[in-house]
Amino acid sequence: MMVEEVRKHLTEGIIPFWKKMRDDQFGGYYGYMDYDLKVDRKAVKGCILNSRITWFFANAYLLLKDEDLLAQARHGYEFMKRCCLDTEQGGVYWSVAYDGTPEDTTKHTYNQAFSIYALSSYYDASGDREALNTAMALYRIIEERCTDEIGYKEAFDRNFHEIDNDKLSENGVMAEKTMNTLLHVFEAYTELYRVSHDAEVGERLKWILDTFADKVYNPALQRQEVFFDRDMRSIIDLHSYGHDIETAWLIDRGVEILGDTAYREKLSPITEALTQKIYETAFDGHSLANECENGVVNTHRIWWVQAETVVGFLNGWQRHPERKEYLEAAEAEWAFIKAHVIDPRDGSEWFWEVDETGKPYEGRPIVEPWKCPYHNGRMCMEVIKRS
């Protein structure tokens, strides 16, 4: 039942919505739709937004084999190549103006990672070797310019001089390193390794897994720490529920693609603990709270957190079929999404956030540089592929 509903939502809801966001005049996809469903055709275009949309259409094509989806992915790829890549200094800009000219020339490791993610999937969908070569070039930029002896540095100016990490820091702290960036570098390298089987990328995946296990995961609290100083020391008491359930299944997937038994044995207890802790702590039987800072729970139901909850619990059940409560949780979360998070208005997609009863917070945009089909579109595709 859930699988067919999700398939219908993907093909009749999410895909048509994002096709309509395509900019045929300046390329890429429009960067903003407000709560009242008005598209700002001259809004800034986030490079993360456009890489995620490109990733989405490439993977939708791989699943559904609709040539128009490949054409949409190609449209995104051409915009990334022409406008988001800095051909002089290397790397990917943070954002460009509506016409594709550079707007914010910050280079962020997180942003480079999402371009690798998109380019790797686009290569898989299209067979275009240039996309894979570009992904490998960005991989080398991260490894050569964005690392220190401890891990991944994050924020840089156009010339790769380190700057404050304000774009990935929240909750009143300025973090030099974050779990979020490390997770999405891992996600990007997983996809790059899947399509390239490059041995060096495989070794970096192992290094990241060791870092998650030894420095990010807190075994006493069965959670990941979120924000760190330069030496990977946690600087805030924060439990990010959405990131933990997302991490659990992304690491399981990465370990599976890596195919290394030792890392499966090392990481599986951690992903199992993350899933169980989130189920016990953050899930109310219907939906998932956002986070807990210094013991205070933020009960907002954020769109992407709900999407990752479906996949995370479905993954937990598939790996441990005796844990039927996880399957029931995935189904209950989907029911909550259907009833409250999917915007029923014609021409819309998902609300940004609702309260724990399902009432939307008005005023939050439907599309902006972080609001895209990456989480909810991926949820649909994962549910279909796992059926």
User: What is the domain-level CATH number for residue 338?
Assistant: 1.50.10.10
Measured distance CA(297)–CA(287) in Å, rounded:
14
Distance CA(224)–CA(209), nearest Å, equals: 13
What is the chain's pLDDT, residue by residue, as a tens digit (387 residues)?
Answer: 799 999 999 999 999 999 999 999 999 999 999 999 999 999 999 999 999 999 999 999 999 999 999 999 999 999 999 999 999 999 999 999 999 999 999 999 999 999 999 999 999 999 999 999 999 999 999 999 999 999 999 999 999 999 999 999 999 999 999 999 999 999 999 999 999 999 999 999 999 999 999 999 999 999 999 999 999 999 999 999 999 999 999 999 999 999 999 999 999 999 999 999 999 999 999 999 999 999 999 999 999 999 999 999 999 999 999 999 999 999 999 999 999 999 999 999 999 999 999 999 999 999 999 999 999 999 999 999 999
Query: pTM of the predicted model, to two decimals?
Result: 0.98
CB 130 within 8 A of CB 146: no
Q: Which amino acid is at 163?
A: I
- Residue 153 tokens, joined: 């540095």
pLDDT of residue 124: 98
In the Cβ-directed half-sphere of 348, how many Cα atoms lie within 13 Å? 17
Residues in Cβ contact with 191 at an 8 Å cutoff, skipping those fewer than 6 apart: 116, 117, 120, 121
Domain interval for residue 212: 2-385
The pLDDT of residue 208: 98
pLDDT for position 1: 76
Alpha helix ranges (H) inside 197-297: 199-211, 241-258, 261-281
Distance CA 357, CA 286 (A): 10
Distance between CA atoms of residues 80 and 243, nearest Å: 27
The pair of three-digit structure tokens given for residue 311, joined into one six-digit string: 């996949």
Closest alpha carbon to 319 in 274, 262, 377: 274
Specify the number of domains making up the chain.
1
Rounded Cα gap, residues 330 and 317, in angstroms: 9
CA 316 – CA 159 distance, rounded (Å): 43
Estimate to the nearest angstrom the gap between the alpha carbon of 32 and the chain centroid.
Answer: 19
Q: Annotate 18-50 with b (16+ C-beta within 10 A) or e (fewer).
A: beebbbeebbbbbbbbebeeebeeebbbbbbbb
Give every CB contact of residue 131 below 8 A, 6+ residues apart in sequence: 77, 119, 120, 122, 123
Q: Residues 6 or more apart from 174 whose CB is under 8 A from it?
A: 164, 165, 166
